[in-house]
Amino acid sequence: MSFSPENNRPSPARGTGAPGHVAIIMDGNGRWAEQRGLPRIKGHEAGSETVRRVIRLCRDHGVKFLTLYAFSTENWKRSKEEVDGLMALLKQFLEAHENSLHEQKIALRIMGRRQDFAPELMSAIEAVEARTAHYDAGHLQLALSYGGRAEIADAAQAIARAAKAGTLDPETVDETLFARFLYLPDLPDPDLIIRTSGELRVSNFLLWQAPHSELYVTPTLWPDFDGSDFDAALAAFSRRKRRYGGREEKT
């Protein structure tokens, strides 16, 4: 299934059904490990198992798009030991779970600054992207070396280059055209953004795509996030009234 930026715009509605696109800020891996006296990488390892669990939960609940904030542009500032461990864990995750993507017919895509990664790792990622690209039962997006401001800046640069080359008229730039220059321009906007670990901030995640997304925060740390937490998030979403800047009609 393909989505154009024009189709990404929400249709005003008075009630809310199940979300078609869930995005998750996976927070709390480090704290989970520290609470158990373990190295931080053990928290990330436990968190990778939660990813597999949530992919299955999305399938069971009919959520077609799942976007996970896996590694931000700011995460490069962490210790070399932790960053190296995360890169190794990412490669292991791809190797361990690619068969599951094929079995469930889920397409994997990456959004972020691909040039920041080692060529060997990016080649492995892009190989899985290519092998799963034709699936449409579900769509898994991993935000890697991703930042909302970085994405907007990169899109602005691409538009400026096109204008300089004479292939784009600056007077035609509007929200719809701008969205075509985002990392994944056909990705529908998230209906629901979940943040684990109780922090009340968006942490530079999907700044362009989330003007009307519903937010749900749980104190549960990411490695402990399970089916009951997911059910609670979906139940809270189902009770929301999404007005998209408009007013609810009185009956």
Q: Is 99 a catalytic residue?
A: no
Encoding tokens for residue 13? 């509605």
Angle between helices 119-132 and 80-104 (to 10 degrees): 20
Which residue in 8, 29, 75, 84 is the catalytic one?
Answer: 75
**Residue 79 DSSP one-character state:** -
The pairing of beta strand 65-72 with beta strand 192-195: unpaired
Q: Does an H or E element contain 108, and which?
A: strand 106-111
Q: Is 8 a catalytic residue?
A: no
Residue found under tokens 């864990």: 89
Residue type present at position 82: E
Which residue in 8, 27, 191, 229 is the catalytic one?
Answer: 27
Q: How far apart are CA 201 and CA 151, in angstroms?
A: 18
Planar angle of CA 13, 227, 192, nearest 5 degrees = 25
Residues with catalytic roles: 27, 75
